Structure 1
Amino acid sequence: MDGEMKYKLIALDLDGTLLNDDHDISEQTMETVIEVSKQGAEIIVCTGRGPQNSIPFMEKMGLMGYVISHNGAATAKVETREIIHQFSMDHGALTPYIEYCREKDIHFDVNTAFEMFVESVENLKVEVRSMYENFLTLPFNLPAWTDLKDPIVKFTMFGEPAQLDEAYKEFSTWTSDLNMLRSGEYFIDLMDKEASKGNALKQFAIKRGIQQEEILAIGNYHNDITMLTYAGKGIAMDNSPIEVKAAADEITLSNNEDGVHVALLKHCLS
């Protein structure tokens, strides 16, 4: 290995992985990610967030390239904000889920690649509003389906973990073509059945001519499992649920202890 890096593509999840619990990247982790990029590896962010609230983290690190957003449903170019690939959903398939959410008073939003819609911005509960503020995002009021200019890529429910556990169980008995994911303790996401972080990463790597064994992926939640298992090396954060740790090749420190820095130091810079 004449100094050439083994991993050509580094896929990083944001929340709970690259970001600490204050939703920020620590100085140390940021410096390490930038150094790995300087050494020639391509950094790609793979997140459940949309491009508009994930691209700023790439820009903050001074990195160009791409983000895989909405759990793999939309891949966007950092410099131009252009969507280079997306998996769109049929809004008709969402009807039973919307009815369930209304009946059980579970908050939901509908996402196109760049915009997020809720039933009523004015009537958002305090905890819902602060969740959006944490994610640096501002929803709009949902228009009629026919007035949506762009395809829907993701439907998200936000609620108490116990309430969502129950919903997840219920939905698992439904016949549906959608991909359902717990993307966080307080979230359930629905997407096109082809959409996943692993699948988006695979399409991206093929386009780039990068082999599976040249990919390193780091994540911390159920929506990261497809990406961790696809990558040549999948690393779970110490703050991951047990199933995520089981799917990974190894475990690094938590997101509050610079786990990404530690993993990159070991595999890319030592």
Structure 2
Amino acid sequence: MKYRLIALDVDGTLLNDDYELTAVTKQTLRQLQEAGVKIVLCTGRGPANAVPILEQLEMEGVLITHNGAATIETPGPKLLHQYSFTVDEVTAIVRHCREHQVHFDVCTALDMYVETVGEQEAKMYNKYMVSPEIVTDVLTMSEPIVKLTMFGSEQQMDEAERELARLTLPESLTWIRSGVYFIDVMSKAVSKGNALRALARQWQIEPEAIVAMGNYYNDVDMIRFAGLGIAMMNSPEEVKQAADFVTASNNEDGVHLALLKHVMSN
């Protein structure tokens, strides 16, 4: 088989809009794994709510989590690599969130912390199958963190983007609009593409032997890195333009159809 590694975004790509993994997609991925192809989920999710997706696939292995900030291996999970920073470096962002009632959470490689959880946030965490730990003040945390995520309405996130552009952040940090309702702040070294590149190097797999599939801006660099980059039909135009091919949407088994056409037929 020409391709040795399949890198898959989760939300909006592998899962449909009801956060379901369809039977036909699961069967296709299982067949590829049994044929010796490595399946790597590459997600903005943390391990707590990414590992259950791997378990639904009835697989164990490596996951790229937190948009590339933490690479883990199951069973365990065991931390293989992380790009971390301190809470001191995001003090200005935390204060902005507090002042403007923008919800945020702070993640270490394996755990998530929040200061408050309202009804809307509780629904969101429940949907993503994660239970954050509530703390009084995240700025007193001493553990290295890998991501700060802001969550709110599209309008709130648009305003947060403008505020982030005005703030003087440490040179080591960057941020990305990882979804309509989410902004992730992380180390500048972090990207799904960088994490995938490091993993491929470790496994001695050339980019030409990699397929990467995604649907949002945080997937663009891994789509470009892979020998075969595929965007979902439900992707923004910029993501589609970065890809070699566009498959059907996540609600139309786009992952299954793309693998059938481009991988299993080879």
Give the TM-score band, short-chain normalised: over 0.9
Q: What is the alpha-carbon distance in structure 2 between the residues aligned to residue 44 and residue 150 of structure 1?
A: 27
Q: Are residues 1:236 and 2:217 paired?
A: no
Following superposition of structure 1 onto structure 2, how do residues 1-270 of structure 1 map, counting pairs within 5 Å? 5-120=1-116, 124-142=117-135, 148=141, 150-176=143-169, 177=171, 178-270=173-265
Structure 1 moving runs of 4+ over 3 Å: 143-150
Identify unmatched segments of 5+ residues in structure 2. none
Q: 1:88–1:182: structure 2 CA closer, same or farther, 3 Å change rule?
A: same
Contact 1:156 1:188 (8 Å CA) reproduced: yes
Q: What CA RMSD, in Å, does the superposition of the two structures yield over aligned residues?
A: 1.4
Give CA-to-partner distance per residue, 1:179-225, whole Å, 9 cap, x none: 20111110000011101100000011001101011110000011111
The offset of 1:80, in angstroms, is 2.2
How high is the TM-score relative to the length of structure 2?
0.95
How high is the TM-score relative to the length of structure 1?
0.94
The offset of 1:114, in angstroms, is 1.4
User: How many equivalent pairs are there?
Assistant: 263
Q: What is the alpha-carbon distance in structure 1 between the residues aligned to residue 12 and residue 113 of structure 2?
A: 24
AA matched with 1:51: P
Of all paired residues, the percent bearing the same amino acid is: 48
Q: 1:184–1:145: structure 2 CA closer, same or farther, 3 Å change rule?
A: closer
Contact 1:58 1:78 (8 Å CA) reproduced: no
Identify unmatched segments of 5+ residues in structure 1. none
AA matched with 1:116: M
The offset of 1:150, in angstroms, is 3.8
Q: What is the alpha-carbon distance in structure 2 between the residues aligned to residue 226 and residue 99 of structure 1?
A: 31
Q: What is the alpha-carbon distance in structure 2 between the residues aligned to residue 74 and residue 118 of structure 1?
A: 19
Q: What is the alpha-carbon distance in structure 1 between the residues aligned to residue 96 and residue 139 of structure 2?
A: 22
Q: What is the alpha-carbon distance in structure 2 between the residues aligned to residue 25 and residue 196 of structure 1?
A: 24
